Amino acid sequence: MAESEDVDLQSEQYEKHREAGDILAQVREETADRVEVGASHLEVAEYAEDRIRELGGQPAFPVNISIDEEAAHATPSIDDDSTFGEEMINLDIGVHVDGWLADTAITVDLSGNPELAEASEQALEAALEIVEPGVETGDIGAEIEDVINGYGYNPVVNLTGHGLDHWEQHTSPNIPNRAVSQGTTLEVGDVVAIEPFATDGGGKVTEGASEEIFALEREGTVRNRQAREALGQITEEFRTLPFATRWLDTDRAEMALRRLKRNNIVHGYPVLQEDDGFLVSQKEHTLIVTENGCEVTTEY
Ligand code: MN
Ligand code: MN
């Protein structure tokens, strides 16, 4: 990042990051309030995504609704009829305003394990406390690991926080969820998401069989009408940001997407999960590094 005197934190791009964050703070709270036993996954996801648009943003990726052992990348399918049970639910939501992003997550615990949810929350609080120009990302990871271990749980070490760039949800630097020796330092003007995950499992997620979130991999052409229509919408509306099948306007959207995947024009994000029988919690905020510390964009 540039020298601090070159960074104007009032410039248009930072204002758009803040606008995205304001929308997201409100939508996260309203959406979390709708998660209860018997509520529909699809209705909750669509509520959040519609609300983002009403408030003047665009969803930066499909609302992630990850249940119990699932840590990330689950979202309702086009005709999903599942409902919430007595489970641990991670809601991960993103907004962009003209491609400038905010990313946030919260755990709603209906499983009777409030301390596991609290471990991620407190780890994030502790991490935010030490963010300032020059802080090492490895030290942020150490803070997260310490807090989560203090609750008797493990951090998920192969999921990390990340930088956010224009139309790019995941850029450098990685913000680890454990102590690492080779990190980097944060500088004034960096926009990053910090996202601790805590689990009663081993702390390493693997790819599951289900895949409901996709993104453009490369430019390409296809002959099939529906696949062509879908590709047009993807390149214009989502660009390289992730999307769900239910966002596609074409008829036979699932078939269109299978074709785009087979041609390696689109790639999927498999659900990332702990082993069966374990639970994962998550808490995430987006922040701007300032001269004196940081400004969290995704809270009021
Ligand atoms: Mn997120
Ligand atoms: Mn994130």
Are 204 and 157 part of one and the same domain?
yes
- The radius of gyration of the chain's CA atoms, rounded to the nearest angstrom, is 19
Nearest alpha carbon to residue 284 among 103, 98, 19? 103
Q: Same domain for 107 and 139?
A: yes
From 19, 22, 69, 195, the catalytic residue? 195
In the 8-state DSSP scheme, what is residue 9?
T
Same domain, 32 and 134: yes
Residue 230 CA to residue 236 CA, distance in Å, equals: 10
What local confidence, expressed as pLDDT, does residue 146 receive? 98
**Sign (positive/negative) of CA torsion 221, 60, 93, 26?**
negative
Judge whether 92 counts as a catalytic residue.
yes
Asked if residue 147 and residue 43 are part of one domain, the reply reads: yes
pLDDT for 183 equals 85
Q: For residue 104, how far is its CA from the centre of ligand 2 (angstroms)?
A: 7
Alpha-carbon distance 176 to 255, whole Å? Answer: 37
Q: Cα–Cα distance between 219 and 236 in angstroms, integer?
A: 12
**Annotated catalytic residue: which of 46, 146, 170, 217?**
170
Residue 5 confidence (pLDDT): 57
Considering the domain architecture, whether residues 230 and 152 belong to the same structural domain is answered as: no
Domain containing 165 equals 4-208+277-296
Tens-of-pLDDT digits for all 300 residues of the chain?
A: 444 457 999 999 999 999 999 999 999 999 999 999 999 999 999 999 999 999 999 999 999 999 999 999 999 999 999 999 999 999 999 999 999 999 999 999 999 999 999 999 999 999 999 999 999 999 999 999 999 999 999 999 999 999 999 999 999 999 999 999 988 999 999 999 999 999 999 999 999 999 999 999 999 999 999 999 999 999 999 999 999 999 999 999 999 999 999 999 999 999 999 999 999 999 999 999 999 999 999 998
Helix, strand and coil percent figures for the chain, each rounded to 5: 30, 30, 35
Whether residue 170 lies in the annotated active site: yes
Domain count, the chain: 2
The whole-angstrom separation of Cα 70 and Cα 272 is 6
Q: Nearest ligand to the C-alpha of residue 94?
A: 1
267 classed as catalytic: no
CATH for 48: 3.90.230.10
Answer yes or no: 79 catalytic: no
Query: Is 41 known as a binding-site position?
Result: no
Please name the residues in contact with 5: beta carbons below 8 A apart, sequence gap of 6 or more.
none
